[in-house]
Structure 1
Amino acid sequence: MSDIRFRSDVTVELVKHSASDTDVLWAARVSTRGEQSLDETRKDPERSTGLINFLMRDRHGTPFEHNSMTFLVSAPLFVFREFHRHRVGWSYNEESGRYRELAPVFYLPAEDRRLVQRGRPGKYEFVSGSPEQHKIVTEALQESYRRSYHAYQEMLRAGVAREVARAALPVGLFSSMYATCNARSLMHFLSLRTQHEDATVPSFPQREIEMVAEQMERQWAELMPLTHAAFAKHGRVAP
């Protein structure tokens, strides 16, 4: 049996982009300047922070769509099942268990991952688990992963098709996908999948998808710092 690996992290790599604050400016100014709006591509966007803040504040959203970012994400399957609920402005291509043998890489919560849920649905919080609870989670998941991957390999060795054998694998298995979006769709994702004290509308995401969102936000902020600053300033609400 292949060596099983356990991970507590996720990775996000920006593999391709065409995204800058200037893209917002020429897209917005076409409404008043027509073809002369192309002049914005040669200007310093710092001179137009007021316009970007106006667009964000008053929720004129379409100028934030004229850009593109493609990320390579490595995360557990259960993260992708949540991620794919974001459909508008997103495109996905994910690793396929029909066409390749899936690697034995599985998710284990880190020691600082809060394990215990208190309260009723819609009004609850997560608190840190005890050392005993962390031990139970770690040992139970490791045993489950080993058994499921052994069953998967056993079926493959017997000649069972990959698309059938994969049914034995759990949602803690790592997968990879390309995710492409624009700044507006990314802001909507961030507003729902990060918990932030400056957010106008509170959100309570699962920690593992928040880990993906935090990495995406850091990389986007480097590409479009003025747009990101306006997003943060105006309550982290997508325009």
Structure 2
Amino acid sequence: MTVQLVDHNLSDEAVVRAARVSTLGRSSGGARTTEEARDKGLIGFLMRERHGSPFEHGSLTLYVEAPIFVFREWQRHRIASYNEESARYRELRPDFYLPAVGRNLVQVGKAGSYRFEPGTTEQFAIVDAELVNAYETTYRSYERMLSAGIAREVARAALPVGIYTSMYVTMNPRGLMNFLSLRTHREDAAFVSNPQREIEMCAEKAEAIFADLMPVTHAAFEANGRVAP
């Protein structure tokens, strides 16, 4: 799966600037004096007290390649803008998802109280064989319909959710932190989430980009239980 930074205007300074306009008003020419320790303390305060609006200034755009079932989970996060590759207008490539060795396969417990455990060698073999068979069968059906002149928007109905697609997603830091809080599993989080592993893999890549662009904000997010402000 691919998560790449395309564009951004994120910075810890933008959070501080937005917050301080509440008490200092407009600064001359937008300039301000940076005091690192004070800025870090302010961001920590905003995160801890959940004053969220200063974290809405700025945005980043990511390019993502992942299976359709991952996108359906990602796009439930509505504090974002999405443009996805359209199977109405182009033929989808035969790129499909297969779980890596080590991906837990067995669900133990009931809804709301369950865990996933590793599968056996035999179970991995079954998953690989069945998915490859399903992918080959459905993609051949897709190609036969296209060859017969059937519209792409109709033929795509044969394709499974394991086929890869691509999208651009744009969100602000507050929306990104909300996404990360729900789509990563961290035992030290204030509210422990249990996302599907495949979307968590994407979230981990997005978080690495976020931590690089806004290290102070990311550190405050971590220190305050990974709760979006």
Q: TM-score, normalised by structure 2?
A: 0.97
SS in 1 for 2:96: strand
Name the counterpart of 1:163.
153
For structure 1, list consecutive stretches of 5 or more residues without a partner in the other structure: 1-9
| 1:195 aligned onto 2:189 | no
Give the distance between the partners of 2:204 and 2:159, measured in 1 at CA: 28
TM-fit CA distance, 1:48: 1.1
| 1:233 aligned onto 2:219 | no
Name the counterpart of 1:109.
99
TM-fit CA distance, 1:39: 2.9
Give the distance between the partners of 2:18 and 2:77, measured in 1 at CA: 24
| 1:39 aligned onto 2:31 | yes
Give the number of aligned pairs: 228
Q: TM-score, normalised by structure 1?
A: 0.93
| 1:66 aligned onto 2:57 | yes
SS in 1 for 2:226: coil
Give the distance between the partners of 2:113 and 2:105, measured in 1 at CA: 16
Change in 2 beyond 3 A, CA 1:43/1:166:
same
What is the one-letter code of the residue matched to 2:154? Answer: V
Give the distance between the partners of 1:23 and 1:222, measured in 2 at CA: 15
Equivalent of residue 19 in structure 2, options 28, 40, 47: 28
| 1:216 aligned onto 2:206 | yes
What is the one-letter code of the residue matched to 2:58? Answer: N
CA-to-partner distance for each residue in 1:127-166, whole Å, 9 max, x for gaps?
0000000000001000000000000000000000000000
| 1:87 aligned onto 2:78 | yes
TM-fit CA distance, 1:45: 4.4
TM-fit CA distance, 1:46: 5.0
CA-to-partner distance for each residue in 1:51-107, whole Å, 9 max, x for gaps?
00000000000000001100000000000011111002x000000000001000000
What RMSD over aligned residues (CA atoms) do the two structures have, in Å? Answer: 1.1
Equivalent of residue 48 in structure 2, options 42, 57, 62: 57
Give the distance between the partners of 1:136 and 1:209, measured in 2 at CA: 23
Q: Is the 8 A contact 1:68 1:183 kept in 2?
A: yes
SS in 1 for 2:20: helix
For structure 2, list consecutive stretches of 5 or more residues without a partner in the other structure: none
Change in 2 beyond 3 A, CA 1:58/1:150:
same
Percent identity between the two aligned chains: 60
What is the one-letter code of the residue matched to 1:68? Answer: S
